[in-house]
Structure 1
Amino acid sequence: MVEKVFQLTLGNEKIVERVIMDENINYIHMIFNKDEGLPEHYSNSNVYMTVLRGTLSIGLNEQDIHEYKQGTVLKIPFNTKMNVGNKHDEVLELIVVKAPAPTK
């Protein structure tokens, strides 16, 4: 078999699932319920964030929190302060791709 197959966890429970972590990319699947999210941090690579369902509430650097609905793709530059979370009743599901893969 030439391809390598990966499975995403399906459901509504909080998860930060590192699906692919190699020298090329980091591919991360996340599910957050209301008032869940990530600790504030700085991006360690270029980040491409896809909202699969729900509404993403995200603060970048010193900006106010912006909201993005299902079907939105964000490109976030390296070394950007990020505050990622779900402030809504509907489950938030994201795919995050870091490219190139962080070296630290």
Structure 2
Amino acid sequence: MVEKVYNMTNSNDRTVEMLITDENVHYLHMIFNKEEGLPEHFSNSTVYMTVLKGTLSIGLDEQEVHEYKQGSVLKIPFKTKMNVGNKHDEILELIVVKAPAPVK
């Protein structure tokens, strides 16, 4: 078998899973219920964020919180302060790609 297969969790519970972490890319799958999200942090690579379900509420650097609906794809620069969360009743599901892969 040439390909390697990764499976995402199918759930309605809070989920943050690192599906692929190699020297090329970090590929994450996240699910957040209302009032859930990530701790405020700085991006450690260029981040590409795709909203699969729900509405993403995100504050970047010192901007006001912006909201992005299903189908939105964001490109967030390296070293950007991020405050990611779900402020809505509907489940938020995201794919996050960090490219190039962060180095420690």
TM-score scaled to structure 1, two decimals?
Answer: 1.00
CA distance in 1, matches of 2:80, 2:12: 28
Equivalents in 1 of 2:102, 2:30: separation in Å? Answer: 18
Q: In the alignment, which residue of structure 2 is the partner of 1:97? A: 97
- Taking every aligned residue pair, what percent have the same amino acid on both sides? 76
Q: How does 1:61-100 map to 2 (within 5 A)?
A: 61-100=61-100
C-alpha distance in structure 2 between counterparts of 1:58 and 1:6, whole Å: 27
Q: Which residue of 2 aligns with 1:42?
A: 42
Give the distance between the partners of 2:29 and 2:43, measured in 1 at CA: 16
Deviation at 1:46, TM superposition (A): 0.2
SS at match of 1:96: strand
The whole-number CA distance in structure 1 between the counterparts of 2:102 and 2:85 is: 22
TM-score (norm 2): 1.00
Q: Which runs of 4+ in 1 moved over 6 A?
A: none
In 2, Cα distance between the equivalents of 1:2 and 1:74? 31
Mapped partners of 2:57, 2:5: distance in 1? 31
Q: Report the alpha carbon displacement of residue 26 of structure 1 after superposing the two structures with TM.
A: 0.2
SS of 1:94 mapped into structure 2: strand
Gaps of 5+ in 2: none
Letter in 2 for 1:24: N
**Counterpart-to-counterpart distance in 2, 1:37 and 1:66:** 14
- Segments of structure 1 that go 5 or more residues without pairing to the other structure are none
2:60: which partner in 1? 60
Superposition RMSD on alpha carbons, in Å? 0.3
In structure 2, distance between residues paired with 1:64 and 1:37: 17
Structure 1 position 11, deviation (Å): 1.3
